[in-house]
Amino acid sequence: MTSRHAITTTTARLLLGATMLATAAGSAFAQGVPESDEPIKMTINDWTGQEITTKVMGSVLEEMGYTVEYVQADYLAQFAGLESGDLDVAMEIWETTGKDALAKSLESGNTVDLGETGMEAKEEWWFPAYLKEDCPGLPDWKALNDCAELFATPETSPKGRYLGGPVTWGGHDEERIEALGLNYEVIHAGTDAALLAELKSAYQRKKPILTWIYAPHWAPIEFEGEWIQFPEYEDACYNDPKWGTNPDKAYDCGKPYGWIKAVGWAGGEKEWPAAYQAIRNFTMTNDDMGEMIGKVDVDGMPIDVVVDEWLETHQDTWKSWIPKG
């Protein structure tokens, strides 16, 4: 089991209280839980919200008696581990970037859809509101080429610079630029933290920046700005080049918006059936998640402390995930 960070006495009391409550809630478990002593290996990806989601669910599984291990994994590459059984559960697959990879994995028969988490995903190009004076055509995507010079940097000039997420996140931004004929170059941030640090620095100095922002997250709440309005996504946009403004290229549209799902190794259905049911019962709001991410990324609180506080103050929510009888 992954060790926790050192925590304060106050937080220790919160954790003890949550543990006692979970024990009471778990008294109605079906007998025989946990069904196996094998650890449930849950993936940790490279953004704060996903780690929070995973550790909230992992904490509940631990209270049910399961052994949980947290394993660092790339967002899209993790599907290979889930299909082989080297990994067991991924708590956040976003429709915006993981829809195709999830569908392909489920077709293999080696993974199972563990349901929607209740959070709604949005990932798209974003710019600060103060730039509308310099590029008045925004947020219409057609204005981007007129403003490429505004967003250009020495490394991309004469092309505009688009600060994308880490390359492991996917997103098809290079394909979108080519399909829509945009005079831009994608520069991928090395990490989520690096992307947000650059955004914060640019925003404070009111400098031009065009970047990837996602929700649920604190950034689109903290910073005043707008999403670029690309042609609205349809499945055909990604699959049929004839769809959309460019008859020769796919991806001539914005990213899809929608669900965030959990996915698991298919063998886990028999190995830990009650755990999988609890994961299917998991639900979280965008507001709750955005608040927790802000506590970590903005206020500097350790993730485990934030998770423990949420468990303490949302007992009715997480106790309802635990299957009874």
The CATH topology of domain 122-239 is: D-Maltodextrin-Binding Protein; domain 2 (3.40.190)
Task: For CATH 3.40.190.10, list the domain ranges present in the chain.
Answer: 9-121+258-319
Domain at 9-121+258-319: CATH code: 3.40.190.10
CA atoms within 13 A on the CB side of 299: 13
What is the pTM for the complete model shown?
A: 0.77
pLDDT value of residue 19: 47
Name the token pair of 310: 């949420």
Element (H, E) at 119: strand 111-128
- Please give the C-alpha separations between residue 46 and each of 249, 272, 291, in angstroms, as whole numbers: 31, 26, 18
The segments of the chain whose pLDDT lies below 50 read 1-28
pLDDT value of residue 10: 41
pLDDT value of residue 23: 46
Q: Is 10 exposed, middle or buried (0-12, 13-18, 19+ CB in 10 A)?
A: exposed
pLDDT value of residue 29: 54
261 forms beta bridges with 93, 116
Provide the residue type at 316 as one letter: D
pLDDT value of residue 325: 67
pLDDT value of residue 250: 96
Provide the residue type at 286 as one letter: N
